[in-house]
């Protein structure tokens, strides 16, 4: 695992200035963690970077930003290390470069996925089956999507183990993990230390827009995920097959989940166009934007597919939706989606440190 020396060195230089200043202590969990140290190892810097959620409060509050010679831009310095740490821990390592070319990877996968599924649906159209299964048999769907879902999870797990070693994590404790989930669930840090939110879309104005849209994405995503899982349970445990009616668990979760996801991703994309790209990771803007839009497509095509039930549009909407889902799954370890996993790991580590575990 090789991380970019320049990024680490720059983040370290800035962290040392912050450590002499401390004015931003109350904004987020980065600063208390930073102020506990006197010297910063590469692992410390990597951990700090993954605790930062780029709210930018500390940039607009800083008396040392350019043109001052100290040239502070902690959100960017940490974003560069963060992005780089995901690449350095990516597994298999040869896919690390996908982070830099999310847009290209995504287009390629979408086209391929669409072609594949469309061809399968045309060529191997089942003799019987209802709803989607009239186009693509259940067995075939499972054959494609089980590995597409499980393999990325496996690679993420391997990456996280690497991260854990880098940041010097010891035994994983249940209480730390629980604490991390609680923090992430409320997105406490996104409120900013004062509860007024982030500085994102309009320089130093604090707002909750980013937190609310992000919440919509997270909970929308989880509801969609739960919808699919409940479908699987209904299918295998109760022998109830799709399509499900509107008043069924999969639909009651999936439709509002899809809508939330649509609104959240659209909102985040819009905020991203307003925010200053100079405060994020260099060169990552395009990939992040592509990823948000992909997630938007997942939810939008899902909703469209539901609306089109019974019509001929299903023949192309279904492959399109499935191709977005497939792309999303496959890119999870090599895209912005990875941040959720790393952030949980970082919060878990921080909880352990706060308990006094070195």
Partner 1 sequence: MATDPDIVVIGGGNAALCAAITAAEAGAKVVILEAAPKAYRGGNSRHTRNFRCMHSGPLGPLVESYGEDEYFDDLMKVTGGKTDEDLARLAIRSSEECLPWMESHGVRFQPSLSGTLSLARTNAFFLGGGKSLVNAYYRTAKKLGVVVHYDAKVTHVALDGDRVCRVDYSTGDTQHSLSPQSVIVASGGFQADTDWLARAWGPAARNFLIRGTPYNRGVVLADLLDQGVQQVGDPTQCHAVAIDGRAPKFDGGIVTRLDCVPFSIVVNRDAERFYDEGEDVWPKRYAIWGRLVAAQPDQVGHVIIDAKSLNLFMPSVFPPIKADTLEELAEKMGLPPARLRATVKEFNRACGDTSGFHPTELDGVATSGLTPPKTNWARPITQAPFYGYSLRTGVTFTYLGLKVDRNAQCSIGDRPISNLWAAGETMAGSILGQGYLAGFGMTIGTVFGRIAGKEAAAHANAH
What is the 3-state secondary structure of 148-209?
HHHHHHHHHHHHHHHHHHHCCCCCCCHHHHHHHHHHHHHCHHHHCCCCCCEECCCCCCEECH
Q: At what angle do helices 338-354 and 138-166 cross, to 10 degrees?
A: 40
Choosing among ligand SF4, partner 1, none, which partner's interface includes residue 9 (Cβ < 5 to 8 Å by kind)? none
Look at residue 204 and give the partner it binds from ligand SF4, partner 1, none, a contact being a CB closer than 5 to 8 Å depending on partner kind. Answer: partner 1
Q: Which is nearer to partner 1, 35 or 101 (CB)?
A: 35
Residue 2, φ and ψ in degrees, nearest 5? -120, 120
Query: Which residue in 58, 290, 318, 338 binds ligand SF4 (CB under 6 A)?
Result: 58
CA-to-CA separations, 254 to 140, 221, 294, in angstroms, rounded: 22, 9, 18
For ligand SF4, which residue of 12, 33, 43, 57 counts as binding (CB under 6 A)?
57
- Which among 50-58, 125-133, 162-170, 245-253 is the span making contact with ligand SF4, rule CB under 6 A? 50-58
342: contact with ligand SF4 by CB under 6 A: no
Instruction: Note whether 299 and 119 are within 8 A (CB).
Output: no
Q: At its nearest, how many Å lie between ligand SF4 and the CB of residue 43?
A: 17
* Nearest CB to partner 1, comparing residues 26 and 139: 26
**Residue 178, binding choice from ligand SF4, partner 1, none, Cβ under 5 to 8 Å by partner class:** none
CA distance 93 to 91: 5
For position 60 contacting ligand SF4 by CB under 6 A, the verdict is: no
Report what 28 binds from ligand SF4, partner 1, none; CB cut-off 5-8 Å by kind. Answer: ligand SF4
CB 242 within 8 A of CB 235: yes
Interface residue with ligand SF4, options 3, 11, 18, 45 (CB under 6 A): 18
Q: By rule CB under 6 A, what count of residues binds ligand SF4?
A: 24
Q: Which of residues 68-127 bind ligand SF4 (CB under 6 A)?
A: 72, 74-75, 78
Return d(Cα 6, Cα 204) in angstroms, integer: 28
Residues found near partner 1 in the complex (CB under 8 A): 16-17, 19-27, 32, 35, 38, 57-58, 60-70, 193-194, 196, 204-205
At a CB cut-off of 8 Å and minimum separation 6, what does 356 contact? none
Closest listed residue to residue 96, CA positions, set 285, 333, 289: 333
Applying CB under 6 A, the span of 16-24, 111-119, 132-140, 203-211 interacting with ligand SF4 comes to: 16-24
Residue 141 parent element (H or E): helix 138-166
Contacts with ligand SF4 by CB under 6 A lie at 17-18, 21-24, 27-28, 30, 52-58, 61-64, 72, 74-75, 78
């Amino acid at each position: 695992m090789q991380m970019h020396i320049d990024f680490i060195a720059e983040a370290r230089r800035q962290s040392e200035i912050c450590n002499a200043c401390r004015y931003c202590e109350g904004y987020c969990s980065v600063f208390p963690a930073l102020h506990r140290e006197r010297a910063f190892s590469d692992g410390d810097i990597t951990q700090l970077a993954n605790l930062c959620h780029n709210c930018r409060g500390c940039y607009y509050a800083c008396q040392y930003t350019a043109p001052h010679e100290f040239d502070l831009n902690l959100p960017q310095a940490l974003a560069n290390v963060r992005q780089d740490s995901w690449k350095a821990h990516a597994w298999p390592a040869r896919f690390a470069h996908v982070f830099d070319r999310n847009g290209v990877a995504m287009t390629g996968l979408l086209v391929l996925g669409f072609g594949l599924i469309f061809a399968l649906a045309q060529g191997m159209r089942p003799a019987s089956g209802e709803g989607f299964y009239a186009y693509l048999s259940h067995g075939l769907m499972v054959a494609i999507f089980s590995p597409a879902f499980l393999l990325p999870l496996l690679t993420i797990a391997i990456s996280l183990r690497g991260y854990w070693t880098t940041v010097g994590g010891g035994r994983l404790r249940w209480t730390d993990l629980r604490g991390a989930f609680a923090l992430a669930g409320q997105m406490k840090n996104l409120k900013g230390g004062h509860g007024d939110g982030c500085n994102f879309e309009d320089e130093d104005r604090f707002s909750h827009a980013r937190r609310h849209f992000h919440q919509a994405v997270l909970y929308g995503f989880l509801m969609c995920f739960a919808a699919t899982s409940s479908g699987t349970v209904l299918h295998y445990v109760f022998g109830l097959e799709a399509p499900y009616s509107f008043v069924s668990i999969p639909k009651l979760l999936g439709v509002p989940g899809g809508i939330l996801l649509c609104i959240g991703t659209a909102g985040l994309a819009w905020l991203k166009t307003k925010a200053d790209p100079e405060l994020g990771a260099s060169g990552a803007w395009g990939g992040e934007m592509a990823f948000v839009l992909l997630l938007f497509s997942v939810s939008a095509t899902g909703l469209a597919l539901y609306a089109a039930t019974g019509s001929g549009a299903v023949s192309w909407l279904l492959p399109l939706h499935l191709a977005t889902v497939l792309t999303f799954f496959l890119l999870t370890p090599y895209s912005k989606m990875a941040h959720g996993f790393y952030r949980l790991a970082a919060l878990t580590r921080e909880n352990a440190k706060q308990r006094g575990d070195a």
